[in-house]
Amino acid sequence: GVHAVGQIISAKLMLLGGERVDGHEAVDGDDVDTAPTLAALNEELARRCDDVRVLGIARVTNKFCAHTGCTSREYEYLIPAYCLRPPDPAILKTDVDIGRAITQEAREGDRPLSKEEVERVNAALSILQGTHNFHNFTDAKGPNGPMDKSMQRFIISARVGPQRCMDGVNYVSLLYHGQSFMLHQIRKMTTMVAAAASSAIDNFTLENGAPGNGAPGNGDVSAEESAGHLTTAARTAILYALSKTRVVGIPKAPSCALVLRRCWYKAYEKKKPEGRASLDFADVEAERSTFVEE
């Protein structure tokens, strides 16, 4: 399964306490102070499992369902910064493959991504945005092959998030926001982005030897505009993998770095009664980040 720091569940609870935050008598559970219940839940969880924690509680409508009401989800993949940059030419030699070169560079000196390097990663991520056939990015296969509509997904945004240093290693947050994702889709997208940003696929060519020929477009933005600092070969490789008629074997990035960051309830937020709390839980964002790093 996927790790999560933004998972939302719906449940019927009898809250502890029972007094409103403003001191008046509680009416049908609205505005009741949830702090005692939150503390009791986490105290019980701490005795059973350190990996599960409740970050917030919000009152919802009686018919609300956390599973079916979710309109989109945002996932975060934490990847070492050195995986997203080309290895030092002084390290990369003809008898050393790029994977070994990147590993050697990581040992000899790690650093955060520069502004230009972040732009290159964002350029690769931007190509994945919009509606595409992601049949090459999942192990699940549609009944009609690559052309099957079940292979289509809409990526709302894909971008570089904050960088952070943990245990002496610099990590980059890759944020994927979409309506839904297929099995292993994010892990394979991350591999493709890392390969493009690190120039690991600069020798890529299509079957006919013409880079970019026959590759799908990228919505209203031209491939050149969306690619930014990407090489033509790297841009072509991503577009090639998004082509309906192509079949490409893409490795999966490790699952341990993938985290469900947030669930979005756009329809509920529009229709929720006035005064009900939002389900974005923005007030616990600091706790989310701390929990991830723990």
- How much is the pLDDT for 19? 53
Phi, psi of 136 (to 5 degrees): -80, -5
Three-state SS for 120?
A: helix
210 — pLDDT class (breaks 50, 70, 90): very low
Alpha-helical regions (H) of 49-151: 98-108, 115-127
pLDDT > 70: percent of the chain: 78
Residue 91 near residue 105 (C-beta atoms within 8 A):
yes
Q: How many CB atoms lie within 10 A of CB 79?
A: 21
pLDDT at 247 over 90: no
pLDDT at 213 over 50: no
Residue 108 is classified by DSSP as: H
For 123-147, how does the pLDDT look when each residue is reduced to its tens digit (9 = 90+)?
Answer: 999 999 999 999 999 887 777 777 7
| Inter-helix orientation angle 185-197/115-127, to 10° | 130
203 — pLDDT class (breaks 50, 70, 90): low
- 167's tokens: 């245990």
Label each residue of 126-170 as H, E or C: HHCCEEEECHHHCCCCCCCHHHCHHHEEEEEEEEEEEEEEECCEE
Q: What mean pLDDT comes out for the span 64-92?
A: 86
- How much is the pLDDT for 67? 92
Q: Which of the residue ranges 76-80, 143-147, 217-221 would you say has the lowest mean pLDDT?
A: 217-221
- How much is the pLDDT for 248? 79
pLDDT at 274 over 70: yes
Q: Which of the residue ranges 118-127, 140-149, 162-171, 191-200 would you say has the lowest mean pLDDT?
A: 140-149
pTM, two decimals, is: 0.81
Structural domain boundaries of the chain?
Answer: 3-70+265-293, 72-256
**CATH topology for the 72-256 domain:** Alpha-Beta Plaits (3.30.70)
202 — pLDDT class (breaks 50, 70, 90): low
Average model confidence (pLDDT) across the chain: 81
101 — pLDDT class (breaks 50, 70, 90): low
214 — pLDDT class (breaks 50, 70, 90): very low
Q: Match 């009900």 to its residue by tokens.
A: 276
Between CA 64 and CA 56 the distance in angstroms is 17
Q: What mean pLDDT comes out for the span 171-184?
A: 95
Amino acid identity, residue 58? Answer: A
- How much is the pLDDT for 225? 37
Between CA 87 and CA 199 the distance in angstroms is 9
